[in-house]
């Protein structure tokens, strides 16, 4: 191809027009398009753009790359936009549908009327469109609005491009503020972090400094304080200590600690944060979390103290009848748990694997059924709800489903004015429930309803803020049944035995050499590359052969403590895809490619599709023509359009947090000293207990020792326990 310009610092520029758009991601602007250069050469371009339309004239700056899958492509680093000058180019541009109200037929009539001057008419004299037959006042208003938006986005992109801002972000800014975008950017760019999803402090700060914002500006310091509080929330903290915030903001911004304190005081005065004196120092809360913590404490105290309606039958007889009906014999502790679920307004049931939590839930549901009362079953995730339903033979739903979450509104139908119905609510895997969700749940629990919280306090706490299960138990204000007996049928399981030994900080028990029937194995591999090869062997041949499963089965899961590194989640997904599912064309989505038969995981709750965060499925078809993906989730096919592909990820390997609440027949876990920061007892325990039939740990004895002995996870800043203690015991409630 003849170059439009000579190479400059390893790059070149090409002038031409867009032929067609192959792919566009509205979240980040990533675009794949066909492009025709001025010399008539057809080419493929990739990069971040605003919504492009055929006929749009661009000058592209970038370089050529040879993609192994898609051939020669021009990778665009930056670009400038111009409007077509010729009548033919203008007609094609308008016919693309970019301007609402103008289709191919009308585009032809408009250009026939104004020729090469059409763009000038749209810019300066849009009312002249009345001269075109069939164009009335309503149509003109529609065209004017759409054309103004197109110009606004284009002008903003050009302005922000000069300051190194991506096209995707520029488009988001315009969609949020419209004509106010320039005003917001010049007055307080940090507003972007508050108003636009996906824009954090760092992005807003870079833009602000490029636009000339004073590095010591109070607005900058206030924005950073809010950023620190949000980051701490993401790490599970409900509040942050002011001294820590001041030290971090001072160091990261290069300002005096006094400036941070003044900014914090201004935020408190403006009610954008809440401050409270705590024993460890002054605590800073984002208002929602301060309110949620108080509301949860008061709601638990109120519910626990509400009179509990006693059953009108002999409870011991009912429990005995349940034993006969279910064909099992309860232990004394299990009988106590079932009785107290009837006799108490709030009951916590906690214990490790093999201690009979599921058996108790079955018994609770059956006894309430004999009483003729409805029991609602809920869990934090779709996978956990499915497991609960399978175990009990009763309907179980996610907490969001139980509360009738409305995604478009971001609210719940079930609340104080529209409470849940039923005699009792049982929540399984309660350790995964965070403070915000618990706040919404308790609002929907009426005073007459019993609440049974079931979970393992030794597992990882929730991803979101709070440490609810542990705080409620340690407060001593709610009745707790602690299950510590491993039942006979579980004693031979090394998974169960070792899970309890991990909790006690004891050395693990390994299978005897040559024992082919054990359910737990430790394979020593000190080298990450060797560990990787062993993982590949395990999931591709050894485990499938033993369990009679396909290597691509969702019942075989690699769980890694880290995302980075040779045996981190990211590299494992890339490499396992190559080895377990080679060949075939895929559907590119950013840096990822999805192919038929790929294991994928849903990354967020989608109530319209009825798929939930953590659900694992298999790609049925990667439709390149329609740019969509068809995924099978337990026999149900779900369609993902091109702008929805960010909701899924490859799932040959997942993190421990993503695996929480799920169970798999076989789990393979790398455990190396390179994972040092994540070698924690509760994390290892959580991964170990995801396996039902087989758990294989691959790594070093040193890393295993650290993971078992390290019982000092990061302490979360929460005051729920203290709030409950301050309110005091509510009494038995019978």
Rounded CA gap, 566 and 526, in Å? 13
Is the confidence at residue 183, as pLDDT, over 50? yes
104-108, 235-239, 479-483: lowest mean pLDDT where? 104-108
Is the confidence at residue 210, as pLDDT, over 90? no
Give the residue with greater pLDDT, 80 vs 645. 645
Sign (positive or negative) of CA dihedral 649, 651, 652, 654? positive
Render pLDDT for 368-424 as a digit per residue (tens, 0 to 9). 999 999 999 999 988 889 889 998 999 999 999 999 998 878 899 999 999 999 999
Local structure of residue 196 (DSSP, 8 states): S
Kindly give, in sequence order, each residue whose CB lies less than 8 Å from that of residue 694, ignoring residues fewer than 6 positions away: 519, 520, 521, 543, 546, 547, 665, 666, 667
- How confident is residue 557, by pLDDT bands cut at 50, 70 and 90? very high
C-beta separation of 43 from 74 below 8 A: yes
C-beta separation of 372 from 365 below 8 A: no
Is the confidence at residue 693, as pLDDT, over 90? yes
The rounded Cα 453 to chain-centroid distance in angstroms is 24
Helix, strand, coil percent values for the chain (each to nearest 5): 45, 20, 35
Look at strands 450-455 and 636-641 and give their pairing.
unpaired
Render pLDDT for 331-344 as a digit per residue (tens, 0 to 9). 999 999 999 999 99
CA 516 → CA 494, 498, 556, distances in Å?
Answer: 13, 18, 18
Is the confidence at residue 664, as pLDDT, over 90? yes
C-beta separation of 572 from 558 below 8 A: yes
Rounded CA gap, 636 and 668, in Å? 27
For residue 357, the model assigns a pLDDT of 92
Rounded CA gap, 728 and 722, in Å? 10
- For the record, the structure tokens of 676 come out as 């040092």
Rounded CA gap, 623 and 195, in Å? 35
- For the record, the structure tokens of 620 come out as 């049925």
Is the confidence at residue 6, as pLDDT, over 60? no
For residue 615, the model assigns a pLDDT of 85
Is the confidence at residue 157, as pLDDT, over 80? no
Local structure of residue 415 (DSSP, 8 states): B
Rounded CA gap, 570 and 708, in Å? 25
For residue 5, the model assigns a pLDDT of 37
C-beta separation of 664 from 554 below 8 A: yes
- For the record, the structure tokens of 594 come out as 């999805």
N- to C-terminal Cα distance for the chain? 85
- For the record, the structure tokens of 562 come out as 């880290």
The rounded Cα 515 to chain-centroid distance in angstroms is 40
CA 230 → CA 187, 233, 471, 563, distances in Å?
Answer: 23, 5, 22, 22
Render pLDDT for 359-371 as a digit per residue (tens, 0 to 9). 999 999 999 999 9
C-beta separation of 350 from 481 below 8 A: yes
Rounded CA gap, 250 and 264, in Å? 12
197-211, 474-488, 533-547, 648-662: lowest mean pLDDT where? 197-211
3-state secondary structure at position 521: strand
CA 679 → CA 284, 531, 682, distances in Å?
Answer: 30, 17, 9
Is the confidence at residue 83, as pLDDT, over 50? yes
Is the confidence at residue 722, as pLDDT, over 90? yes
Most confidently predicted of 35-49, 72-86, 253-267, 669-683: 253-267
Sign (positive or negative) of CA dihedral 469, 473, 479, 482? positive
For residue 489, the model assigns a pLDDT of 59
Is the confidence at residue 263, as pLDDT, over 80? yes
Render pLDDT for 611-661 as a digit per residue (tens, 0 to 9). 877 888 999 999 887 888 999 988 889 999 877 888 899 999 999 988 888
Rounded CA gap, 612 and 398, in Å? 9
Is the confidence at residue 19, as pLDDT, over 70? yes
For residue 538, the model assigns a pLDDT of 95
Average pLDDT, the chain: 87
Return the H-helix or E-strand segment holding 692.
strand 691-699
Give the residue with greater pLDDT, 47 vs 28. 47
Backbone angles phi, psi at 443, to 5 degrees: -65, -30
Please report how many Cα atoms fall inside a 13 Å half-sphere around the Cα of residue 406, on the Cβ side.
Answer: 8
Strand partners, 334: none
Percent of the chain predicted with pLDDT > 90: 50
Average pLDDT (719-731) is 85
- How confident is residue 705, by pLDDT bands cut at 50, 70 and 90? very high
Is the confidence at residue 591, as pLDDT, over 90? no
74-88, 509-523, 627-641: lowest mean pLDDT where? 74-88
C-beta separation of 351 from 483 below 8 A: yes
Is the confidence at residue 2, as pLDDT, over 60? no
C-beta separation of 617 from 632 below 8 A: yes
Average pLDDT (192-213) is 81
3-state secondary structure at position 713: coil
For residue 26, the model assigns a pLDDT of 66
Nearest CA to 393 out of 412, 365, 419 is that of 365
Q: Is the pTM of this model over 0.85?
A: no
- How confident is residue 675, by pLDDT bands cut at 50, 70 and 90? confident
Q: Match 């990822």 to its residue by tokens.
A: 592
Render pLDDT for 459-489 as a digit per residue (tens, 0 to 9). 888 888 999 999 999 999 999 999 988 775 5
3-state secondary structure at position 90: helix
Helix (H), strand (E) counts: the chain? 28, 28
- For the record, the structure tokens of 13 come out as 């520029």
C-beta separation of 79 from 49 below 8 A: yes
Rounded CA gap, 172 and 165, in Å? 11
For residue 226, the model assigns a pLDDT of 94
Please report how many Cα atoms fall inside a 13 Å half-sphere around the Cα of residue 566, on the Cβ side.
Answer: 17
The rounded Cα 144 to chain-centroid distance in angstroms is 39
């Amino acid at each position: 191809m003849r170059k439009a310009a000579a190479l400059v610092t390893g790059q070149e520029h090409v002038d031409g027009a867009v032929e067609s758009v192959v792919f566009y991601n509205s979240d980040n602007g990533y675009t794949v398009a066909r492009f025709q250069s001025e010399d008539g050469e057809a080419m493929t371009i990739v990069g971040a753009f605003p919504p492009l339309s055929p006929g749009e004239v661009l000058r592209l700056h970038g370089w050529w790359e040879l993609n192994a899958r898609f051939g020669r492509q021009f990778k665009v680093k930056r670009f400038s936009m111009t409007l077509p000058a010729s009548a033919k180019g203008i007609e094609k541009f308008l016919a693309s549908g970019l301007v609402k109200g103008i289709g191919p037929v009308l585009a032809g009539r408009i250009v026939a009327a104004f020729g090469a001057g059409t763009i000038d008419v749209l810019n300066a004299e849009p009312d002249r469109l009345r001269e075109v037959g069939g164009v009335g006042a309503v149509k003109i208003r529609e065209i004017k609005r759409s054309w103004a938006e197109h110009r606004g986005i284009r002008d903003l992109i050009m302005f922000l491009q000069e300051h190194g801002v991506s096209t995707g972000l520029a488009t988001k800014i315009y969609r949020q503020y419209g004509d106010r975008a320039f005003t917001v950017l010049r007055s307080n760019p940090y507003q972007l972090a508050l108003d636009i999803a996906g824009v954090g402090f760092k992005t807003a700060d870079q833009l602000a400094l490029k636009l000339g914002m004073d590095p010591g500006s109070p607005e900058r310091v206030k924005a950073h304080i809010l950023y620190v509080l949000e980051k701490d929330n993401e790490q599970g903290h409900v509040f942050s200590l002011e001294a820590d915030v001041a030290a971090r903001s001072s160091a990261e911004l290069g300002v005096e600690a006094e400036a941070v304190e003044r900014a914090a005081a201004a935020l408190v005065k403006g009610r954008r944060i809440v401050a409270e004196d705590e024993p460890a120092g002054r605590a800073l809360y984002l208002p929602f979390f301060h309110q949620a913590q108080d509301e949860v404490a008061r709601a638990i105290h109120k519910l626990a103290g509400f009179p509990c309606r006693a059953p009108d039958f002999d409870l011991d007889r009912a429990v005995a009848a349940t034993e006969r009906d279910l064909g099992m014999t309860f232990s004394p502790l299990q009988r106590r748990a079932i009785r107290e679920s009837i006799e108490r307004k709030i009951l916590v049931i906690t214990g490790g694997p093999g201690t009979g939590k599921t058996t108790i839930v079955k018994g609770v549901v059956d006894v309430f059924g004999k009483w003729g009362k409805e029991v609602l079953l809920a869990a934090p995730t779709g996978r956990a709800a499915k497991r609960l339903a399978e175990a009990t033979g009763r309907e179980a739903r996610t907490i969001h489903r139980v509360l009738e979450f409305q995604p478009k509104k971001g609210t719940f139908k079930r609340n104080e004015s529209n409470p849940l119905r039923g005699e009792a609510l049982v929540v399984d895997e309660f350790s995964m429930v965070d403070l915000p969700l618990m706040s919404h749940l308790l609002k929907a629990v009426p005073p007459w309803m019993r609440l049974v919280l079931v979970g393992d306090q030794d597992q990882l706490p929730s991803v979101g803020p709070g440490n609810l299960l542990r705080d409620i138990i340690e407060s001593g204000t709610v009745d707790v049944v602690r299950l510590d007996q491993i039942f006979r049928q579980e004693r031979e399981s090394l998974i169960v035995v070792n899970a309890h030994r991990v909790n006690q900080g004891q050395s693990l028990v390994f299978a005897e050499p040559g024992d082919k029937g054990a359910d737990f194995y430790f394979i020593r591999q000190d080298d990450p590359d060797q560990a990787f090869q062993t993982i590949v062997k395990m999931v591709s041949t050894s485990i499938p052969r033993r369990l009679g499963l396909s290597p691509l089965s969702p019942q075989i899961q690699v769980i890694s403590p880290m995302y980075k590194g040779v045996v981190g989640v990211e590299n494992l997904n890339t490499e396992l895809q190559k080895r377990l599912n080679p060949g075939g064309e895929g559907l590119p989505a950013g840096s990822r490619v999805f192919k038929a038969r790929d294991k994928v995981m849903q990354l967020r709750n989608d109530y319209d599709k009825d798929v939930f965060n953590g659900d694992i499925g298999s790609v049925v078809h990667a439709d390149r023509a329609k740019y969509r993906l068809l995924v099978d989730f337990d026999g149900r096919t779900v369609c993902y359009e091109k702008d929805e592909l960010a909701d899924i990820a490859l799932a040959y390997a997942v993190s421990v947090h993503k695996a929480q609440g799920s169970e798999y027949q076989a789990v393979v876990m790398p455990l190396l000293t390179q994972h040092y920061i994540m070698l924690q007892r509760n994390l290892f325990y959580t991964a170990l207990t995801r396996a039902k039939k087989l758990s294989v740990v691959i790594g070093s004895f040193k890393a295993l020792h650290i993971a078992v002995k390290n019982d000092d996870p990061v302490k979360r800043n929460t005051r729920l326990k203290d709030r409950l203690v301050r309110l005091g015991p509510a009494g038995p409630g019978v």
